[in-house]
Amino acid sequence: MKLIMSIIHDEDSARLTTALNKAGIQVTKLASTGGFLRVGNSTMLIGVEEDRLEDALKIIHDCCHTQKQTTIANQPYTTTPEGYVPYPIEVTVGGATVFVLDVDQFLKY
Ligand code: 2BA
């Protein structure tokens, strides 16, 4: 068995959950926060048998889209007598950051 941990944009989470459920793949959504942008994203925990792994990865690929987001850079753009001048930078987020882990044991009590 494999555990997929996938960090995705909040906006994609409902579409992804629906698509996984339609394919008979169970998922748990965790509310998470990115360390760089410090805004909310979603972490999806998906446990699958190995023969469903590629199905699950394809669904994640198809449901999650890249997005551009703007943040304030934490490095000064210029130094002035007044000091620090913050400036906006644009980053491309996602579609999905995916980790695939081996599962030693899967138990339900
Ligand atoms: P954040 O940490 O909020 O990062 C959002 C986006 O900002 C990243 O998109 C990337 O394009 C950019 N970024 C991140 N760190 C940067 C840096 N030091 N300098 C310049 N740009 C930077 P993604 O790479 O698609 O990542 C989306 C979210 O996935 C991340 O949100 C984080 O929550 C998670 N993530 C990505 N890689 C990870 C990793 N290796 N370990 C754990 N979480 C990860």
Global pTM value: 0.90
Judge if the beta carbon of residue 99 lies within 6 A of ligand 1: no
Its domain, for residue 8, covers 2-102
Asked whether residue 30 is assigned to any structural domain, the reply reads yes
Asked whether residue 108 is assigned to any structural domain, the reply reads no
Site to substitute for ligand 1 among 12, 37, 60, 101, most atoms within 8 A of C-beta: 37
Q: Output the residue whose Cα is nearest ligand 1's atom 12.
A: 91
Helix, strand, coil percentages in the chain from 3-state DSSP, rounded to 5:
25, 40, 35
Look at the chain and report how many structural domains it folds into.
Answer: 1
> How would you label 18-44 residue by residue, b for 16+ Cβ within 10 Å and e otherwise?
ebbeeeebebebeeeebeeeeeebbbb
Predicted confidence (pLDDT) per residue in 32-79, tens digit = 999 999 899 999 999 999 999 999 999 999 999 999 988 887 665 556
CATH of the domain at 92: 3.30.70.120
Asked whether residue 47 is assigned to any structural domain, the reply reads yes
